[in-house]
A = this chain, B = another copy of it.
Amino acid sequence: MSYSVVGQSVPRVDAREKVSGSAIYTGDMVLPHMLVGKVLRSPHAHAKIISIDTSKARSLPGVKVVLTYEDTPKIPWNSAGFPPSPGAILVEDQYILSDKARYVGDGIAAVAAVDEDTAIRALDLIEIEYEVLPALMTLERAMAAEAHLIHDAEKNIYGHTPVVIGDVEAGFAAADYVFEDTYYVPKVNQVSMEPCGVALAAPDRDGRVTIWTSTQMPHLVRRITAHALGLNIGQVRIIKPPVGGAFGSRLGVVNEPIAALLALKAGKPVMLKYTREEAFLATESRHPISMTLKTGVKKDGTFTARQLTSYIDGGAYATHTPSFAGPVAGWFLAMYKSPNIKVDNYSIYTNATQCGAFRGYGNPQVVFAVESQMDDIARKLGIDPLEFRLKNHPCAGEVWLWSGWAIESCGLEECMAKGAKAIGWSEKRNEGAGGNSRVTTGAAGTKKRGLGMGYMMHVSGARPMLHETSAAIVKINEDGGANLIYSNSDCGQGSGTALTQIAAEELGIPYEDLVMTKTADTDVSGFDIGSHASRQVYSGGNAVKGAAAVAKQKLLAMAAEMLQTPAEELVVEEGQVWVSHDPSKTLSVAEVAHAAHFGSHGHQIIGAISEEPAGNPPVYAAQFAEVEVDTETGVVEVLKVVAAHDVGTAINPAAVEGQIQGAVQQGIGYALTEEYRCDLETGRPLNPNLADYKILTSVDMPPVETILVQAASETGPFGAKSVGESGLVATAAAIANAVYDAIGIRFKELPITPEKVLAALHERKES
């Protein structure tokens, strides 16, 4: 199948404004009479509020509004952006300001003042008396029988998501080997370039409020904000300017309700812009999870039973956690076939900042554990890890347990083969139990090299967990160009470019002639569940393609009238319509559009649809890492990563590769350097800044070779599947397995820091 613009690496629609710095982000905006909002945050991880005196703050000149819990609607809500659905378990335990301090950084009061200095001074003038309670900073402490309850719930363990398929006990009994390991992954922050938590709220008409916000999901933020404020949905308008990265951090409301309440109380616009420290302190990071895997396997590599028991540290508020436990189970279930599977996922409150979505949504955690253990099992059985995985993963036509539907297409085998070739798998990987590096470097052979790999599958949307609603409108302008109105949730990933390509391709006009709305606006774009679950190109793309198809149908009907030919005999491509069997009978799209507007009837050709796609095709990847471990310093250097991804049709190959490259960078950070830490006694964060929290920069990056495998889906637009999240899912496992290959030590806890490596090497030497 050959396309005009689909499959072309055309420049991003927002390339120039992004690189020139002319893009106007929410935080750049200025409105007349705009006030500055600030939030007073708890210095205690767990404390009752005995009293709050705001009188001094209120009397400071320039202070317009001071709010505490008492001034907020007494409506509990949940910040996670879920549409109502069986897959969404929404524990509503949040208020716009807290009635009790549940983590260091919990919002206790808020002010709006004429400028930032005044707002900060006002915060200083608010006097709060706390009764400090024990800080429950670990899963163990929070789950202890005598633990103080963080919420008015029976226990701090407030959710349990069980799955049972077959009988795992019988499966373990039938196994030749049973492996049981516990893995732990830490809290990591998304660290988007634009810190999370930027909202500008302005009163609008009678009791209405407009909020410009850096979000991934305008319509669901509208929904939650309206609920939290006690308003009808139509009384809230969300506008999404360009967003400087998100990675899940903006998947739900962040500070929109508080900005809106300040603005409504002040009767003036209020800018509420979190600092980088606040983005660490008070917005949602990736869940730390303790995962125990138990796997029964026959000597031939067939699984008899698979079991996962996980304890998910959701932090101080529920938000995503109870719902998130579902996909955590889904990733585990769908990776490998087994007649017997059991999952028990528990959601736990602790006195840490609440956790939410971060690229992968539980999959990076699960894949790190599963793929680490797979490596151990393969070595134990003496089976090539590639073969072992291919033998056990479900393939095209088989049931995919994430959705319960048949797998549309699967390019994993090709990913494995091409990736292995590119990394030099058969030449460079060490044999046997690991730690017998064929390649050593360093002065005395102290640096040891190894190869590792990890496999992953991921989704192209959230069906059937959620309805995948998107809407699109395509209108053809009088000169044959077109506008696409879509709830543009592009948060930097480039989906707006891909969707423009899809619409232009379907409509049959040049890419340059199709303009997609740049900012989403809930007043004008159709209901859309936002940018998450890697759904933009698949679900959004299907809606966009559908709207373009409706417009094209009308265009061809009009052209048919003008050319006196049945519409079925017409073709439209690159702005030209012609009769398929007689290309000399032709009209430009511009001529047809002009005639529509100004000819015998005056109307514009408009295609509008709202629908969800037919499926949810999984994507696949095999990632390979070559590492060098310095046994004197403990430093793990990643020498190369090969990321072979089956993404279905790559709408824009350069953008797909960019997505994978950026994700691998986060994956290496997850493996080796990133951990958002706090003092375990006080709960005070230890590294809420970019000096102490170590993300990789471009100079820290090894070469990353991306290989695109395009096993087209049946239901995706032009065969596309997804790429948004998948690039980082397998990276940590590949690196951990490479470290094992290099030095024969299995790290079950991330990140694999030099300290941990040295400690493990010393321990081995001593034993």
Residues in A lying within 8 Å of B, measured CB to CB: 13-17, 20, 22, 24, 28-32, 83-85, 203-206, 208, 223, 226, 232-234, 237, 267-268, 466-469, 471, 473, 475, 477-479, 481-483, 485, 513-515, 517-518, 521-527, 594, 597-598, 601-606, 608-612
CB-nearest residue of chain B to A529: B602
Nearest chain B residue, comparing its CB with the CB of A210: B518
Could you jot down 20 A-B contacts, CB within 8 Å?
A13-B205, A83-B602, A232-B479, A233-B481, A234-B477, A237-B515, A469-B602, A471-B475, A471-B606, A473-B524, A475-B610, A478-B527, A483-B522, A515-B523, A521-B524, A527-B604, A601-B611, A602-B611, A603-B610, A603-B611
Contact of A524 among B466, B517, B604 (CB under 8 A): B517
Which one of B29, B31, B604 contacts A471 once the chains associate, using CB atoms below 8 Å? Answer: B604
Q: Are A24 and B31 in contact (CB under 8 A)?
A: yes
A424 to B594, CA, bound (A): 54
Instruction: Name the B residues within 8 Å of A223 (CB-CB).
Output: 478
B481 touches A232 (CB 8 A): yes
Residue of A14, A521, A594, A609 with most chain B CB atoms under a 10 A cut-off: A521
* Total copies of this chain within the assembly: 2
Q: Is the CB of A467 within 8 A of B598?
A: yes
CA distance A389 to B17 in the complex (A): 64
A485 touches B84 (CB 8 A): no
Given A603-B611, A604-B526, A604-B527, A473 and B471 contact (CB-CB distance below 8 Å): no
Residues of B within 8 A of A478 (CB): 223, 233, 527
Give the contacting residue for A469; candidates B482, B521, B604; CB below 8 A. Answer: B604
Which of A32, A208, A223, A468 has the most chain B CB atoms inside 10 A of its CB? A32
- Contact flag A203-B469 (CB < 8 Å), given A481-B232, A598-B84, A603-B610: no
Contacts of A485 in B (CB 8 A): 523-524
Report which residue of A208, A467, A478, A524 has the largest number of chain B beta carbons within 10 angstroms of its beta carbon: A524
Inter-chain contacts of A525 with B (CB < 8 A): 524
Evaluate contact between A606 and B481: CB separation under 8 angstroms.
no
Output the least CB separation between A604 and chain B (Å): 4
Minimum CB–CB distance for A101 against chain B, Å? 33
- The chain B residue with its CB closest to the CB of A468 is B602
Shortest CB-to-CB span from A626 to chain B, Å, is 40
Q: Are B612 and A603 interface neighbours, CB within 8 A?
A: yes
Whether A234 contacts B598 by the Cβ 8 Å rule is no
Taking the closest CB of chain B, its distance from the CB of A216, in whole angstroms, is: 18
Known: A517-B524, A597-B469. Contact between A477 and B610, CB under 8 A?
Answer: no
- Chain B residues with CB under 8 Å of A483's CB are 234, 522-524
Known contacts: A524-B517, A602-B612, A604-B526. The answer to whether A234 contacts B481 by CB under 8 A is yes
Pairs of residues from A and B, 7 with the lowest C-beta to C-beta distance, nearest first? A467-B602, A234-B481, A469-B602, A608-B608, A527-B604, A604-B610, A602-B612
B206 touches A597 (CB 8 A): no
Q: Hey, which chain B residues are within 8 Å of A609, CB to CB?
A: 606
Contacts of A17 in B (CB 8 A): 204-205
Contact A267 B469 (CB under 8 A): no
Q: How far is the CA of A482 from the CA of B235 in the complex (A)?
A: 10
In whole angstroms, what is the CA distance A471 to B477 when docked? Answer: 12
Known: A205-B13, A523-B483, A610-B606. A601 touches B467 (CB 8 A): yes
Query: What is the CA–CA distance of A521 and B521 in the complex, to the nearest angstrom?
Result: 11
List chain B residues, Cβ under 8 A from A15. 206
CB pair B598 A513 closer than 8 Å: no
